[in-house]
Amino acid sequence: MSALAGVLRRIGAMTVDGLWRLGFATRFFLTLLRYSGQSFRRLPLTIREIYFSGVLSLLIILVSGLFVGLVLGLQGYDILQRFGSSDALGIMVALSLLRELGPVVAALLFASRAGSAVTAEIGLMKTTEQLQAMDMMAVNPIARVAAPRFWGGVISMPLLAAMFSAMGIFGGWLIGVVAIGVDDGAFWSQMRASVDFRHDVLNGVIKSFVFGAAVSLIAVFEGYDCQPTAEGVSRAITRTVVSSALAILALDFVLTSFMFRGL
Amino acid sequence: MSRTTLDLWVGVFVALGFAALVFLAMKVGGSSELSGASTYAVTAPFDNVGGLKPRAPVKSAGVVVGRVGDIHFDSRNFRAIVRIDLGEHYKFPRDTSASILTSGLLGEQYIGLDPGADTETLKDGDVLEITQSAVVLEKLIGQFMFNKAAETPSRP
């Protein structure tokens, strides 16, 4: 009897904790938006964060994009040539990259490369009481630390996803046209005939924008909310990567079901 | 890192990102010329639209001149009503006929427009009276077999 009560109490505590954190995260997000204008007035702060989360992620994004495109080229050719339609390789590579793989894989890489770094940085600032010190000096830590990192991520993410897709299409072209020998003209013209700018390219950009906002918010919040100990920081970083990945994949399903439901 | 190098790198990053977007827009996404341009809509009733889908191309002389808007069922005449969005700068005679064709053996279905000879041109909201339905493979085979059976002289 008491064991059952213990289990129920644990479930209750977890629910209350989860709700409390969710509410805190929402309030944190609203405060962040409110102080965004204040942080934009000092633009170099945001530019510095674009450098750290965007420019430094460039290498991993470009190399991964290239390899994803190479694999898509090989697999796509293998399947399409069974139906005698290897000319459609361009369509397959472009659509799968623009609609799904580009935004999602770029966001997953971004979460593990830049999101974790942001959480670690803010978490360590909290552990060493730098955030409290800022508060003492009447410098708002949300405007000075959190908002620039959030907006740096939001701005970087769509650009990184676009580069990922472009690099992937280049990789697919390398395998399909240069290595295997699919007709160059057919590759590009079929791709252009069935990829629509608004429907495919722009929806991909919207997706990556949403993912960028989700990942950046999770990263900043986990850092801001972590236990101020070494263990707490490490846990916060793990949580950032795990919940970012889950949020990206769940949001991707929701967005896809709104954007591409086959009409 | 000094401020100027930082700015330079961020500038390079943003320029690369926009270059990738422009590449995707120009080189990869090509068929957007009609999605932004203004269109006028005409409707066409069909007995059978087969596998025609919304957003399928509408072609005349092989050139894409519009897109299929939406397809719905008219429960009074038991026919399918297809809305066709044509580009503003493409003018067609009033007696233009529409037929549902297939590109290739297994390709997607599209609407082909054959211009008539009327001097007046189609306006927004007009109805294309002359239409030809999609070819349904099962019916075609059935007809062929029926004809074949009728041809063969019955042996005593």
What residues of A are in contact with residue B23 (Cβ under 8 Å)?
Answer: 166
Q: Does A46 touch chain B (CB under 8 A)?
A: no
Q: How many CB atoms lie within 10 A of CB A225?
A: 18
Q: What value, to the nearest 5°, has the Cα angle with vertex A154 and ends A150 and A159? A: 145
Residue contact A166–B54, C-beta within 8 A:
no
Q: List pLDDT tens digits, range B138-156.
A: 888 888 888 888 876 666 5
CB of A222 within 8 Å of a chain B CB? The answer is: no
Per the listing, tokens 């405007």 go with A143
ipTM for the complex? 0.77
Percent of chain A with pLDDT over 70: 99
- How far apart are alpha carbons B136 and B141 in whole angstroms? 9
Report the alpha-carbon distance of residue A235 to residue A248 in Å, rounded.
20
pLDDT tens figures, A215-248: 999 999 999 989 999 999 999 999 999 999 999 9
Least confident range of A216-220, B40-44, B50-54: B50-54
**Which one of A38-47, A155-164, A254-263 scores highest in mean pLDDT?**
A155-164
Residue with tokens 């593990």: A112
pTM above 0.80, yes or no: no
Number of H helices, E strands in chain B: 3, 7
The angle formed by the CA atoms of residues B140, B142 and B147, to the nearest 5 degrees, is 95
Sign of the C-alpha dihedral, residues B15, B20, B24, B27? positive
A127 and A235 Cβ atoms separated by less than 8 Å: no
Nearest CB to B10 within list A47, A160, A162: A47
Kindly state whether A84 is in contact with chain B, defined as any CB-CB distance less than 8 angstroms. Answer: no
Tens digits of residue pLDDT in A144-203: 899 999 999 999 999 999 999 999 999 999 999 999 988 888 888 888 878 888 888 899
DSSP lists the bridge partners of residue B109 as: B102
Q: What 3-state class would DSSP assign to B57?
A: strand
